[in-house]
Structure 1
Amino acid sequence: MKKTAIILAIASAGLSMSAQAANPEPFTVQHLVKINKLHSPALSNSGSKIVYAVKKIDAEGESSSDLYIKDLSQADSKAKQLTSVKGTEHSVAFAADDQAIYFLAGRSGSSQLYKLPLTGGEAIQVSDFPLDVEGFKLSQDGTQVVMNMRVFPECKDLKCSEDKFTAEQERKSSGREYKQLMVRHWDTWSDHSRSHLFVAKLNGEKITTAVDVTAGLDTETPPKPFSGMEEVTFTPDGKHLVYGAKAPSKDQAWITNYDLWQVPVTGGDAVNLTEANKAWDANPTFSADGRYLAYLAMTKPGFEADRYRIMLRDTVTGQEKEVAPLWDRSASSLTFGKDNRTLYVTAQDVGQVTVFEVNTQFGDVKTVYNDGSNSVVGVTNEKIIINHKSLVQPGDLYSMNLDGQGIKQLTQVNQEKLAEIKFGEFEQFSFKGWNNEEVHGYWIKPSDYKAGQKYPIAFLVHGGPQGSFGNSFSSRWNAQLWAGAGYGVVMIDFHGSTGYGQEFTDSITQDWGGKPLEDLQKGLTAVTKQQKWLDETRTCALGGSYGGYMMNWIQGNWSDGFNCLVNHAGLFDMRSMYYVTEELWFPEYEFGGTYENNKELYEKFNPVNYTENWKTPMLVIHGEKDFRVPYGQGLAAFSLMQRKGIPSELLIYPEENHWILNPDNLEQWYANVLGWMDRWTEKK
């Protein structure tokens, strides 16, 4: 494991990598589900304080989440606990004068906005709505707040929506009625409500009414299922909101035309700021002086993994340009520096999520920090605050100079727990893949590695397919868990992965079973030649979503490659998959149109057409609430193997979606997966 600046910062903070328990244990899922989780960090406007939440899980699995504050102006300051009320506080923001913080909590029985004075005293409930507040953002001067709540577009007030929700819960019939797509999304059937934005004054009085600035719109803002209030912002003068959303229409299930809209805070007609772009626009971010609006924009309609370009609009002249058009990375977040001209940007970058500095005037891009997975919490005149993760670090806050030097660890939320854990050594490698092009990956040694011994291989294939198994810490597919179980782990970012340039990402489109399979084959051969401790005769491949598709594809097209396979939520039949998934834009772009219009390509890369070659033992896992890849896909693969007499097992979760989120289910998942692998790799 290389000694990075972050690891050196950990050592200087008093937690050296050798400062462990006398007998640290290999990492297990029981450790994973009890890892403390840092969330909701917020930097004060002055940059002198930071507030964050920590969800702690005790030895019995009981959890609690509280807020902490740390004084950044004092070199050795200790964090102080701010809250101790049962429940979770989240989505923290500082008041304009930094004398108080706002957050969301469910203390009153529903999710509402609270204000906590930092000078002393109890938190005060600010909002009192009959519906849950799901997110919020403050205006720059702190006198207004925008909140999102789920309402029915036809309703004129919150009471109407409350009554409709109540009536839906109490009705005796159970049928759901629809007249257009989308009828369900991710893991939820539509109840015809939509997320709308409400603006209210912050004047010291409890908020019971607010202006629905998206009134009547049959659309979601923020967009579902994963967007948050990063898609919503006040203009610096506080007169308007800018938000991301699709225009109300019947084609929302097969287009990616998210636009940025500007609407007065008093309500009224919204203006489409990005009407000319028919692809995805996102993350509106204003400079503090109001001169510039920066945002992210794709250019390919229907494509969700296009490069996010950085756009800059001069609010005075109206002129707009792409910043750094030759920079071949896809930005994921934008933060203006205090000079109102520099942007601090994060983007996937060769297995990392890197922090970059972008000069908006000339387009110069500089790497600030490029080890591990990093998100920017805030920027001061002199410092950048980041949340950092890696393959051996679950997530902590760090500060660094604007040039990436002077890294200092600010939190140690898992100090005691990490001291009990022994992780596997890891390293990034590369090889010549499809077309002799360079492809990257990671290997991890078993945590109890001994020189001279050979170890079975856990060959992890990521989903997406435009994704990456990089240098980060996952609460689900955590590669270190296989290292803890005695496996050598291999992960390859095949053609189609993100963080290696847009051409590399684009190369998988309309070639799902081509270049990626060749990369996986060449990568496994290369890494076993490079690392002699890997036993190529005892291998098990596993993956979820597209990774699960690849398990089905391997069955028919690389049937002698592995001792066993694990298929989580994998696509089995591309024809039926097209008609039952919810985001139709995805298969339509990846396979060049609807199934009806491009059957040949769908069938060319359809695993069901190669079942005569299937023979490898496979464990199939699926969640019944998975509407992205519905569980019939997994059931079909299992049925086929049972009928053909191929050793196979099925694990179904009635309450899980595309992911396994319940800690007890996660423990069961790993017990089944590792047990299956141990059996077929003859691991003793």
Structure 2
Amino acid sequence: MKRVLYLAALTLALGACEEKTDTPDGSFNNRDLVLQSDIMTPEVLWSFGRLSEVALSPDGSTVVYGVTYTNISENKSYTDLYTVPAKGGEVKQITNTKFNEAQPGWHPDGQKITFLSSESGSMQLWEMNIDGSARKQITDVEGGISAYLYSPDMKQLAYIKAVKLDQTVNDLYPDLPLANARIEDDLMYRHWDSWHDYTYNHLFIAPYSEGSLITSGKDIMEGERFDSPMKPFGGMEQIAWSPDSKSIVYTCKKLVGRDYAFSTNSDLYLYNIETGLTENLTEGMMGYDQNPVFSPDGSKLIWESMERDGYEADKNRLFLMDMASREKKDLTASFDHNIASPVWDREKPYIWFVSNVSATEQIHAIDLQTGEITKVTEGMQDFVQVLNAGDILIAVRMSISSPSEIYSIDLASGTATNISNINTPVLSQLTLGDVEERWVKTTDGKDMLVWVIYPPHFDPSKKYPAILYCQGGPQSGVSQFWSLRWNFQMMAANGYVVIAPNRRGLPGFGTEWNEQISGDYGGQNMKDYLSAVDALSKEPFIDETRLGAVGASYGGFSVYWLAGNHNKRFKAFIAHCGIFNSDMMYTTTEEMFFVDWDMKGPYWKHPNKQYSASPHLFADKWDTPILVIHGEKDFRIPYTQGMAAFNAARIQDIPARFLFFPEENHWVLSPQNGILWQREFAGWLNKWLKE
């Protein structure tokens, strides 16, 4: 039975309806969404299906993947699994439950699909036939598991479980069971959006045989107060079985407290299953070393590596190790860009990876015999993952005009085909703005790429308000990304020309361009922003009297800084989770390596230009309405930064608004909060740039 659900009392805002499978235990999707307008709204944005994990079958013939749909009225998301032939064909939905299946994978023999589910009451490993039938629980580990990986010979299972090693206040004082407090003696007591919970991610290995239920395994990190995968975002990409199943490599930063907070020195550790011995494969390599991948024959290992300790935005290199000699080689020494997601070719001596070059993420191949690196794809798109299936590649692709989809790329012809078509039905009903690449001269004579996104149904004879987009990171790319918040098409749909510069400090234009921003907050990159907005505002279709500037994180810093240094260019500002006071940022953030590197040390030792560029020092020059947004669980840039900025504006009687989310972190993740964010974002700009 089906019923029509009108979104969010919300019918007027959405102008659309959706169909839902109305079964007590069923899932939810928006595949039948019918729009009444061709202009995107926040509700439509949140109704797109979101691609999650993608896994290729061992024989390269089939792809399994997850898709998440949002039920806005329930403020809840549902994830189900799908399969599609690698060369394209019928898409099959193989789960339809309320349990949000995660981390789809394959038996090494390709006979079953594996996944995590909380169906039993905690997150456990399950298996099923390729058509979704014969669903069966495989683990029943106390407290649940968070990730898994089968050994190639299918005789062992590696899984991740949180292990409690530290004492709470109630452990220390058992006669005070109702005491609610924390006692901290060192740094890194909280990370990203959660306080340290006294547990550590440990890697366990258990015997596996079909038909048995796994309840426990061997903790190969027993007693160690370290995490593998690394918190907060690491997954099983940081762990790899050797093809002979005799060893396993894991990523770990084996430091604690203050040392942990100031360092990015993670290493790769090889654990021998038979002897129980652990070897540090990357000892002496001081930056991030992570994401190991064995060659098909097990003779080589590749991984992603950074050189400098403490520099989290260092060049990401592709390293190779000969497992017999332990000799290491940088395969990308002559390649002046970052690499990500490397995979081996199944047959040829190639390694495939993705890299940001000129503000687009493209697929590259390195020939191990010649060392030559070739860019395989072109176009206005971001490929964020690549898998090799013999004569084709399976890749995840997104763009400013499309959410992530799975593409099959024929290596002979170069043809790329969308084989998942998750959002084709909705996109076909929308008119999106054109995206244009512009090049602007900077104040020091450099050429800077600027994305310009036009409103739907753009009329060049009219004048439009425009918004300058300021990127965060500060060294995250302004590429062809798709976002639920900083969505350029959503901004353009509100009737704005969007100006998105690839200012100094962004990847894709070489190491020198990317690294210039470290130690130069408030410097050349701010001049780059003004160069972009000044050049574009001369266009006859932009009203230079109606300009706004928006941004998050370092983009929020940028907005706060511009608010005191813009010489009347802008009529409205929006800063999300931005740095307002650099002194306070240094001593209240959690990952000390970030601020220590970029600020060139603490303010009491180095009162340098980084601190003299702090936006709060220019607050006396503020004169423009500003919307400040912050989440209480943002521990990267604590919410008091946003409070201080808002208070500074109102103390000076400057029109301001503070949008505060008690349950959100550096991002806004829940559906109705996300829609509220978009409404307030557009409403503030409309108030000051349109009314």
Q: Same fold per TM (> 0.5)?
A: yes
Residue 90 in 1 paired to residue 102 in 2? yes
CA offsets, 1:488-513, max 9 Å, x none? 11111100011211111100010011
CA offsets, 1:454-505, max 9 Å, x none? 1000211110010122212112211111111111111111000112111111
Question: Does the 8 Å contact 1:148/1:195 carry over to 2?
Answer: yes
CA offsets, 1:307-352, max 9 Å, x none? 0111111112322211131111111211000136211011122121
Residue 196 of structure 2: aligned partner: 190
Change (3 A) 1:131 1:483: same
Say which is worse superposed, 342-351 or 412-421, in terms of deviation: 412-421
Residue 356 of structure 2: aligned partner: 348
Residue 246 in 1 paired to residue 253 in 2? yes
CA distance in 2, matches of 1:403, 1:583: 46
Of 583, 586, 589 in structure 1, the residue corresponding to residue 591 of structure 2 is: 583
CA distance in 1, matches of 2:680, 2:385: 37
Change (3 A) 1:299 1:350: same
CA distance in 1, matches of 2:183, 2:143: 23
Of 68, 76, 79 in structure 2, the residue corresponding to residue 65 of structure 1 is: 79
Change (3 A) 1:267 1:611: farther
Shift, 1:63, TM fit: 4.1
Shift, 1:367, TM fit: 0.8
Shift, 1:134, TM fit: 0.9
Residue 606 in 1 paired to residue 619 in 2? no
CA offsets, 1:555-613, max 9 Å, x none? 22224120010011111111111110000101110121223221233422211222221
CA distance in 1, matches of 2:165, 2:403: 41
Shift, 1:679, TM fit: 1.1
Amino acid at match of 2:495: G
Residue 218 in 1 paired to residue 239 in 2? no
CA offsets, 1:422-452, max 9 Å, x none? 2111111111114211111111111132230
CA offsets, 1:191-236, max 9 Å, x none? 2211111111220210001111111111111111122111111122
CA distance in 1, matches of 2:472, 2:193: 18
Residue 500 of structure 2: aligned partner: 491
- Where structure 1 has 5 or more consecutive residues not aligned to the other structure, the ranges are 1-19, 156-160
Amino acid at match of 2:51: L
Alignment of 1:238-637 (within 5 A): 238-250=245-257, 251-265=259-273, 268-339=276-347, 341-371=349-379, 372-402=381-411, 405-529=414-538, 531-637=539-645
Shift, 1:306, TM fit: 0.6
Residue 671 of structure 2: aligned partner: 663
- Where structure 2 has 5 or more consecutive residues not aligned to the other structure, the ranges are 1-32
- SS for the counterpart of 1:572 is coil
CA distance in 1, matches of 2:555, 2:81: 37
Question: Does the 8 Å contact 1:440/1:493 carry over to 2?
Answer: yes
Shift, 1:123, TM fit: 1.1
Of 229, 232, 242 in structure 1, the residue corresponding to residue 236 of structure 2 is: 229
Shift, 1:86, TM fit: 2.0
Residue 47 of structure 1: aligned partner: 60
Question: Does the 8 Å contact 1:603/1:609 carry over to 2?
Answer: no
Question: Does the 8 Å contact 1:288/1:340 carry over to 2?
Answer: no
Change (3 A) 1:346 1:403: farther
Question: Does the 8 Å contact 1:347/1:353 carry over to 2?
Answer: yes
CA distance in 1, matches of 2:154, 2:103: 16
Residue 115 of structure 1: aligned partner: 127
Amino acid at match of 1:617: P
CA distance in 1, matches of 2:288, 2:676: 38
- SS for the counterpart of 2:648 is helix
Amino acid at match of 1:116: M
Residue 25 of structure 2: aligned partner: none
Residue 146 of structure 1: aligned partner: 158
- SS for the counterpart of 2:564 is helix
Question: Does the 8 Å contact 1:287/1:341 carry over to 2?
Answer: no
Output the aligned Cα RMSD: 2.2
CA distance in 2, matches of 1:522, 1:335: 40
CA offsets, 1:21-46, max 9 Å, x none? 89742111111111111222211111
CA offsets, 1:166-187, max 9 Å, x none? x99x942110122211110000
Amino acid at match of 2:520: D
CA offsets, 1:108-132, max 9 Å, x none? 1111000112377421100001112
Residue 179 of structure 2: aligned partner: 173
What percent identity do the matched residue pairs reach? 31
CA distance in 1, matches of 2:646, 2:141: 48
Question: Does the 8 Å contact 1:358/1:365 carry over to 2?
Answer: yes
Amino acid at match of 1:68: Y
CA distance in 2, matches of 1:154, 1:267: 28
Say which is worse superposed, 124-133 or 263-272, in terms of deviation: 263-272
Shift, 1:623, TM fit: 0.4
Amino acid at match of 2:528: D
CA distance in 2, matches of 1:127, 1:360: 40
Shift, 1:377, TM fit: 4.5
Residue 92 of structure 2: aligned partner: 80
TM-score scaled by structure 1?
0.92
CA distance in 1, matches of 2:34, 2:453: 22
Shift, 1:269, TM fit: 4.2
Shift, 1:528, TM fit: 2.7
Question: Does the 8 Å contact 1:211/1:267 carry over to 2?
Answer: no
CA distance in 1, matches of 2:274, 2:310: 33
Say which is worse superposed, 401-410 or 315-324, in terms of deviation: 401-410
CA distance in 2, matches of 1:455, 1:216: 62
Change (3 A) 1:404 1:669: farther
Change (3 A) 1:258 1:639: same
Question: Does the 8 Å contact 1:559/1:616 carry over to 2?
Answer: no
Change (3 A) 1:108 1:22: closer
CA distance in 2, matches of 1:197, 1:210: 9
Change (3 A) 1:55 1:292: same
Residue 99 in 1 paired to residue 111 in 2? yes
Residue 132 in 1 paired to residue 138 in 2? no
Shift, 1:60, TM fit: 4.8
Amino acid at match of 2:59: S
Amino acid at match of 1:66: D
Amino acid at match of 2:204: F
Question: Does the 8 Å contact 1:21/1:419 carry over to 2?
Answer: no
CA offsets, 1:36-73, max 9 Å, x none? 11222211111111111222335756643221222346
How many residues get paired? 652
Amino acid at match of 2:529: L
Residue 16 of structure 1: aligned partner: none
- SS for the counterpart of 1:70 is strand
CA distance in 1, matches of 2:275, 2:549: 54
CA distance in 2, matches of 1:570, 1:671: 20
Amino acid at match of 1:521: L
Residue 652 in 1 paired to residue 666 in 2? no
- SS for the counterpart of 2:530 is helix
CA distance in 1, matches of 2:572, 2:132: 59
Amino acid at match of 2:240: T
CA distance in 1, matches of 2:290, 2:204: 20
CA distance in 2, matches of 1:134, 1:120: 22
CA offsets, 1:231-280, max 9 Å, x none? 11112221211111111333100111111111123684422111111111
